[in-house]
A and B are shown apart, each in its own frame.
Chain A
Amino acid sequence: AQRVTQPEKLLSVFKGAPVELKCNYSYSGSPELFWYVQYSRQRLQLLLRHISRESIKGFTADLNKGETSFHLKKPFAQEEDSAMYYCALGSSASKIIFGSGTRLSIRP
């Protein structure tokens, strides 16, 4: 079965500290992983995707097939990073499955 697990509902870190949002997935095929973000009062939007191998707003994520993980990382948190973050899995059937989300709170 396809599943995305985000074990932390809330992550609170100080400004300037490193951030790691955890994501584990379960999928028998070749996965496509995404991170979506929802800032306060804004709509859900794509942050980055595995296939692009890019860094967006200082965030990176590496797909680890051995550990079936796609953790989101940023070396130095900024206050504007406070938001809900959703890890998502794209399947061959074209639907996208989302995790339950992690609220990231950056303390000044």
Chain B
Amino acid sequence: GAGVSQTPSNKVTEKGKYVELRCDPISGHTALYWYRQSLGQGPEFLIYFQGTGAADDSGLPNDRFFAVRPEGSVSTLKIQRTERGDSAVYLCASSSTGGAYTEAFFGQGTRLTVV
């Protein structure tokens, strides 16, 4: 594809349910990032993958959040026992090599609403 693709674009779930958010990065990009953006705020870092491994997961708020990238391409962000406070836009980005000096390309985001 031409850019980073995220599915679904919108997700409404009930409090306590489990959700999975998918990210398809740009082909060949080794670095992948997940961010969360709440209303009126900037993107908040969650986790960064280099290849298949999580190079930095310091932004995950608690153990209900988990992300995988088993083949170094597609990534899934998983949220267990969702809470209303998890409602936000979840953004995925990829870059060619990662690191502080490379441009990150963003997806359109998944808007998660927990009711």
Contacts and interface: CB of A to CB of B under 8 A. Distances in A.
Tell whether A pairs with B: yes
B62 interface: no
Contact of B56 (A32, A51, A93): A93
Interface in A51-108: 51, 86, 90-101
Contact of B48 (A4, A44, A94): A94
Report, as a range, how many residues of chain A touch the other chain.
20 to 34
B110 to A, nearest CB: 12
Given A44-B43, A86-B42, A94 B99 contact: yes
A100 B42 contact: yes
B14 interface: no
Interface of B: 3, 31, 33, 35, 40-45, 48, 50, 55-56, 58-59, 91, 93, 98-101, 103-109
